[in-house]
Amino acid sequence: MTHYSPVAWRLLVTPPADGATNMAIDEAILHALADGRGRPTLRFYQWDPPCLSLGYNERCTDVDEAACARLGYTWVRRPTGGRAILHTDELTYSVVAPADEPRVAGGVVESYRRLSAGLLAGLRALGTDAVQAQTEKIANRRQGAACFDTPSNYEITVGGKKLVGSAQVRRRGIVLQHGTLPLTGDLDRIFACLNVTGLSPSRKTSLLDSACTLEQALGRIVSFEEAVGALVQGFASALNLRLEPGDLTDYERSLAERLRREQYASDDWNRRI
């Protein structure tokens, strides 16, 4: 286990928001930190209404927009990579820290490993037998449009099934990593809002075979608040953090409003591919 010197980070638990707002807030925290007007931050949040998020390089044609509208879902393009995620009945976390911070040091895979220690400790505190996946030999096999199709290196699995999916971006000397912990519900719902023409029934079934919710892992429903409490404890203990509850600053709110308006709610961004 890696040992770190103690340090204080800000803890944010923000109200549920739409997809464009959530992505704008994450990026605003990154820019505020790069501008010398922010703090390293661990954030937890939810999505309202449910939202399909696409990875940075995914095709917008993967979205079945008519189905999303019929179901009351929105969709947005993330600043991070990876594949599509349907955000509903879940906890989402984000970490924003300088790239030279020891807890995110190294390349993408190494920083995944370091931050996953906090997730792992929190999930074990809830009673799961979660482990870090090490899947170099299988990570690129049989991947489809859905993020939970296959675990990546150092993502969290339970009984061989992916439980937490994460993605990362690095800009201006700052690391932003965010990820999804499904709390309950049918993971197969994502197929209802993707264009999956030609996808065989066995490929749809494979998502359920390779991923699970926290409810499935524990045999009970865990509330957002209980999950946040456990993960706060996990990050604090595994990464030797003093997590200080706070709020977005006026500067961050202003940045987020502009990023939402000019980027994440814009067709120029969401339909750029």
Q: Which of 226, 247, 199 is nearest to 43 (CA)?
A: 247
| Residue 147 annotated in active site | yes
Coil, strand, or helix at residue 186? Answer: coil
Distances (CA, A) of 16 to 19, 88, 152, 224, 273: 9, 11, 27, 11, 28
Helix (H) or strand (E) holding 132: strand 131-132
Q: Is 240 left (phi over 0), alpha (psi -120 to 50) or beta?
A: left
What's 63's DSSP letter?
Answer: B
**Of residues 51, 68, 147, 193, which has the active-site annotation?**
147
Q: Going by C-beta distance under 8 Å and a sequence separation of 6 or more, which residues neighbour residue 54?
A: 60, 62, 63, 75, 76, 77, 78, 83, 84, 270
Identify any residues that bridge with 157 across adjacent strands, giving them in sequence order.
131, 162
Report the distance separating Cα 166 and Cα 246, nearest Å.
Answer: 24
Helices and strands (H, E) in the chain, number of each type: 8, 11
Identify any residues that bridge with 155 across adjacent strands, giving them in sequence order.
none
Q: What is the DSSP string of 74-118?
A: EEEE-SS-S-BEEESSEEEEEEEEETTSGGG-SSHHHHHHHHHHH
**Which residues does the annotation mark as catalytic?**
147
